Amino acid sequence: MIIVTGGAGFIGSNLCLGLNKRGYDDILVVDNLTNGIKYKNMLACQIRDYLDKESFLLKLSQGFFRAQTIEAIFHLGACSATTEWNGKYMMENNYEYSKVLFHYCQQHKIPFIYASSAAVYGGETNFKESLEFEAPLNVYGYSKFQFDQYVRHYQALTDSQVVGLRYFNVYGPREAHKGSMASVAFHFNQQLKAQQKVCLFVGTDGYANGQQRRDFVYVSDVVDVNLWFFDNPTTFGIYNVGTGRSQTFNDVAQAVIAYHQYGEIEYIPFPAHLKGYYQSFTEANLEKLRAVGCHQRFKSVEEGVGLYLEWLNN
């Protein structure tokens, strides 16, 4: 059995499909379906069972599962809202929950592959997996940063696989339920169809209008990296998962316009509540990922957005 927490979410549901393509259907999805619309993400997935995230922890503590039958735990469940400032909730949901799963996997020698985030880097411009470059700008980023620190502390003491994957700006199918936290590619597509234009922020942090740069990574590439680590259980550590090539928000907008063959860009004021808490530049350093032998080819914005909009609009 493979356990996927957050399996009804964006990356989690795509990972379940990736496992299905390999012939795996003995999958336990763990999630929180308070936002019931997420059920749609699982419709195409073949899974054995579903459990609410609280029920799962309870059953885990009661010894309900035979640990020797668990092939791996992919831990993707988290609150990913960078605008959420309830730190108590964020740390309980993202940090304490992760610690419980981590120790269970350590105790039973179960591979543990979990979602970290590029948010740990904050306003830094060197995106290398090292403490001196980590300075999150919000409590979401801090929750991921602190768990990475926790894992680093124990990692030297374990021989059971633990891998943290720092996702950059992931976009692609099955993200609509995220609302305002869905990718700009999703929002640009919706805006263009509704009003024949896409809205980008004016320049900030020294960048011209729409020229802020992010490392936009297509979700199928993210799934492939997860599966690479699953295939390589002797590989440990924390790794960036991005293309290694930053592109501008203008690039994403132009890719959406090119797909639809109409539309224009409008630049809107930068939101006051994001000032000081916004990453105007991200670009994954892939040296560590490549050094362990993962040579995944990552799609450009133009490639990925084209594939995504084909799925989204058909």
**Cα separation of 165 and 113, whole Å?**
8
| Burial call 242-253: b when 16+ CB within 10 Å, e when fewer | bbbebbbbbbbb
CB atoms under 10 Å from CB of 231, counted, come to: 10
Q: Which of 97, 104, 121, 140 is catalytic?
A: 140
97-108 and 53-61 helices, crossing angle to 10°? 40
**Are the C-beta atoms of residues 144 and 112 closer than 8 Å to each other?**
no
Mark whether 308 is an active-site residue.
no
**Cα separation of 162 and 180, whole Å?**
31
Q: Which of 178, 207, 277, 288 is catalytic?
A: 178
Mark whether 140 is an active-site residue.
yes
Contacts of 6 (CB under 8 A, 6+ apart): 12, 30, 31, 75, 76, 77, 78, 115
Contacts of 297 (CB under 8 A, 6+ apart): 221
By annotation, the residues acting in catalysis are 140, 178
